[in-house]
Amino acid sequence: MNYNNLKPNKMEIKVLGTGCPKCRTLEQHTKDAVAQLGLAANVSKVEDIVAIMNYGVMTTPALVIDEKVVVKGKVPSVNDIKTLLTKQ
């Protein structure tokens, strides 16, 4: 069995944004989606502009799941985030 392709038990989710209302809304929607799905996930907020740019994101807010940018420049609904999380 190839263990290199196995996902870690805990999903790493990052909300990229400088603290604007949309960024805070995305963070809350993400936490709500994780809770509703009962996922083992670490949700963190990245506010450092250089760190955000390192993801190639020029418009915030953005959502990163396991180091992959899945949303940028908009605030998806809780249900949309749940869909993104279950596809990972």
Q: Which of 20, 35, 51, 53 is catalytic?
A: 20
Known active-site residue 63: no
Q: Which residues of 48-75 are buried (b: 16+ CB within 10 A; e: fewer)?
A: eeeebeebebeebbbbbbeeeebbbeeb
DSSP state of 16: E
**Catalytic residue at 20?**
yes
Q: Which of 15, 16, 23, 63 is catalytic?
A: 23
Active site residues: 20, 23
